[in-house]
Structure 1
């Protein structure tokens, strides 16, 4: 209806001046009537008249002589409609403004112009223009409804309510208007008036669930539990098979602390509809609120086993339960039971296997965790967590070939996940495939932006490069590690030790050895490295002191450490003591190739 030209109480013809003009006047008059009564054909008719009207517009003077000109008004109005249908907002505005110039009180042009101003984002002008249209024709329903729309959008609810109170009296059959008035009273929290209008609406349409539920919401907002209960009982009476209302009433009783009444209603739901899918969830929430966690969990299990409840909802309530109870000392056992319930009820879905597999991961049962992860992947080969659980389980079982193979398989699905490059690299290194290990580790480090994770890649690469005799690459990798993680004690120790073996950058090696011992002061290996760097620097007294500490940390000192102590004693001129410790090293095993030579020569 907004597209119609509203011309109530107006003469639509032209002032007769000639037969030709009289004919045109008659045609225009019929056209306007046609628009008013058959809006569907407007566009067709406008196109038919387009040529004639445009020719008139071209010969018009742009000057307004101060008196109304219905003919020019009609032509500009027509052009405005054409622009509107072409979605040419600016063109429509220009034409409707011109139409108003030639008839300043043309309410139809005001109405159309208000719409176009609104489309152009000129809200204030749109609002003012519709107000003018209403002043010219205060009884026009469509003008008033447009004005009401502005009142509502501008949060002028007092004006909206005043207007719609008038409109609902004028048009009592228009129930949409009445519904909008109810909404306005709800927004302004005038609940008494909202309820009054709901009663009126119900008188017109009869008893209606939607109206009753609206009324119920009002009573809830008012905190009027007595009325809430009354309305719900009314709904139950009208819809005895609809268990939703039993559940709503049970919830109200539970919130009021009337647990017995609530429980009776939940039991009634089971009686009315034994297959009701959501009853277990309602009871779970009820028992949670009443503090009975055991019964609440049993209802969770019941929900998972309920074949009428959809899997997505089951997964959601399981996530909710886990999130709420993750610190409970019973959560692991509950996870096991829920995982088994999912597997029994949905054997072709991965969720149960995934839950149970994670449970066995936490219990360090790598055999079961591996088995369940493989079952999950058989159902969904793209499941990231199952690949991860599988590989970790195999790593714990020291099945390095399986770790390597499955890490490489996982990379087909997750080629940018550094964790799988890590396991592929480490497994290859353990299997003495250092070249492959380097390939995977070098790739993996490029896919991580986490500094600590990158430092782990570089540390392992450093160790492999050193094993391959590529110390330049090894030291570069260690440097990168320490830039990202300066307190990596293992790298500090290894780097210092390898530098001492080469006799290079010994002062730097000493600093690294000192820091490693600060981080782990009772580590035998780090203490040995510290002593050995001091030895390489010729600081034999300090080296002796540190090596004594090292030997004291071991119940059965290694041959390498005993040999080192002998070397230090020898440099201090304590040859007999040195030989004693060299012999001890020979008995312990694990000594260097030079030990026999040292014993023979001294």
Structure 2
């Protein structure tokens, strides 16, 4: 957030008939040189205080006539013109004040106020650079101006400089995120963070920022290397658990790995990609050590509200690919219950797993339900027909397969499978002629596919 120069209440010190301005104090801390000057100056302040800026200007012009080289009067004149939104005259007045007293930051801040108000950002940058020698914290204003003028290289460099000297601030971190959303600046920031870690190995935020950048760039191995370094330097860090988890898992220290994993998955600080990778590594471990399946169940629960990935579904696919259909079914059903019960892909995966596990009753029931949801999707008719045949409900199989066959388009394999199941249905109904007819048709379709 830009500080912006502000006009503040000033006070006066009378020292006989001479006026003195204390070094780098506010410009109204003055003593009047003459009674006439003093009366006019106080009148200008009174009129400004009640927002009679025109009358205040008249009084200040008298002051300038009495003392043509009085920087304070020019500064006050600039403020009144500023309040009247006569920015050009205000700027000229402030510039005159800086010419007469270039070492007073308040006069430069007057020019800065005008340049900012009129969106003359090049002048604002030039002016703020003259103010910074008086007060280095005005570099935060400079960062804001660099952001406004899309000078992101300079902004990033100044942000890092200020963070290093004064510590991080919310505004600077927000600006940095905005800059780093543009990939071309990420390499320079990575180099900066590596340097910062070398210089300040106990500062956790630098490790976290570097892990975040590597994760965003899909460089997960590098992110884990940084987490390992963090674990060495700051073992109590939540991010350190990422490295510790992997070490425990590799050493087959399951209880300690599970403890670290739960810290990772429950953390609000750790990136979701790292969490998904952690879960995947534990899933592979559980596949070889099934006694830890209950811990996997608890881990998956952390992702129940994950809008980006259906974790239970992905776990189901993992077990499906390993031929562990019972486990696949459990996780597909869990996913459908937690998310959309009518998700087409998950239902098809579940029906295939039911088939492989020979669970024909739940398969047939779900396929019939999905026909109501997707009445033109032939796959659901096929599974309903297959299940009915396996349950020796041949009449139902015949009916649903004949209905679904009408929806098969440009898929010879599926069409052949429909004909095979129709042959099975007619065989069960005792119609050998029809059975042979459908089996021959299926055979022809499979030959065409080759």
TM-score (ref. length: structure 2): 0.55
The answer to whether the Cα contact below 8 Å between 2:363 and 2:384 also exists between their aligned partners in 1 is no
Structure 2: give runs of 5+ residues left out of the alignment: 1-41, 62-69, 427-431
- Decide which of 506, 510, 515 is 2:367's aligned counterpart: 510
CA distance in 2, matches of 1:421, 1:321: 24
Query: Are 1:438 and 2:294 counterparts?
Result: yes
> Which one scores higher on RCO, CA 8 angstroms, separation ≥ 6?
2
Match of 1:141 in 2: none
**TM alignment of 1:409-488, pairs within 5 A:** 409-412=260-263, 427-431=281-285, 432=287, 433-442=289-298, 445=301, 450=305, 457=312, 467=324, 474=330, 478=333, 481-482=336-337, 484-488=339-343
Match of 2:188 in 1: 337
For residue 485 of structure 1, give the secondary structure of its aligned residue in structure 2.
coil
The answer to whether the Cα contact below 8 Å between 1:492 and 1:516 also exists between their aligned partners in 2 is no
Match of 2:401 in 1: 543
Match of 2:161 in 1: 306
Query: Are 1:230 and 2:93 counterparts?
Result: yes
For residue 317 of structure 1, give the secondary structure of its aligned residue in structure 2.
helix
Match of 1:366 in 2: 220
The answer to whether the Cα contact below 8 Å between 2:214 and 2:222 also exists between their aligned partners in 1 is yes
Q: CA RMSD in A?
A: 6.0
Pick closer, same or farther for the CA change 1:223–1:310 going to 2, 3 Å: same
Match of 2:27 in 1: none
- Matched residue pairs, number? 366
The answer to whether the Cα contact below 8 Å between 1:339 and 1:351 also exists between their aligned partners in 2 is no
The answer to whether the Cα contact below 8 Å between 1:212 and 1:231 also exists between their aligned partners in 2 is yes
**TM alignment of 1:11-410, pairs within 5 A:** 186=49, 189=51, 219-225=81-87, 226-227=89-90, 230-231=93-94, 234=97, 237-238=100-101, 240=103, 242=105, 246=108, 249-250=111-112, 252-253=114-115, 255-256=117-118, 261-262=123-124, 264-265=126-127, 268=130, 276=136, 278-279=138-139, 281-289=140-148, 291=149, 293=150, 296-306=151-161, 309-313=165-169, 316-323=171-178, 326=181, 331-345=182-196, 347=198, 348=200, 349-376=203-230, 378=232, 408-410=259-261
CA distance in 2, matches of 1:262, 1:359: 33
CA distance in 2, matches of 1:551, 1:362: 42
The answer to whether the Cα contact below 8 Å between 1:534 and 1:543 also exists between their aligned partners in 2 is no
What's the CA shift string for 1:414-434, capped at 9, x where partnerless? 657797997666544433133
Match of 1:569 in 2: 423
How far the C-alpha of 1:303 sits from its partner, in A, is 0.5
The answer to whether the Cα contact below 8 Å between 2:230 and 2:240 also exists between their aligned partners in 1 is yes
Work out which of the two has the higher radius of gyration on C-alpha atoms and give 1 or 2: 1
How far the C-alpha of 1:318 sits from its partner, in A, is 4.2
How far the C-alpha of 1:533 sits from its partner, in A, is 3.4
TM-score (ref. length: structure 1): 0.44
How far the C-alpha of 1:487 sits from its partner, in A, is 2.6
Pick closer, same or farther for the CA change 1:322–1:451 going to 2, 3 Å: closer
The answer to whether the Cα contact below 8 Å between 1:332 and 1:359 also exists between their aligned partners in 2 is no
CA distance in 2, matches of 1:547, 1:356: 56
The answer to whether the Cα contact below 8 Å between 2:231 and 2:237 also exists between their aligned partners in 1 is yes
CA distance in 1, matches of 2:118, 2:308: 53
Match of 1:16 in 2: none
How far the C-alpha of 1:240 sits from its partner, in A, is 1.0
CA distance in 2, matches of 1:364, 1:421: 14
Match of 2:21 in 1: none
For residue 83 of structure 2, give the secondary structure of its aligned residue in structure 1.
helix
How far the C-alpha of 1:223 sits from its partner, in A, is 1.9
CA distance in 2, matches of 1:346, 1:540: 70
How far the C-alpha of 1:297 sits from its partner, in A, is 1.3
CA distance in 2, matches of 1:214, 1:358: 50
How far the C-alpha of 1:580 sits from its partner, in A, is 10
CA distance in 1, matches of 2:291, 2:419: 37
The answer to whether the Cα contact below 8 Å between 1:565 and 1:578 also exists between their aligned partners in 2 is yes
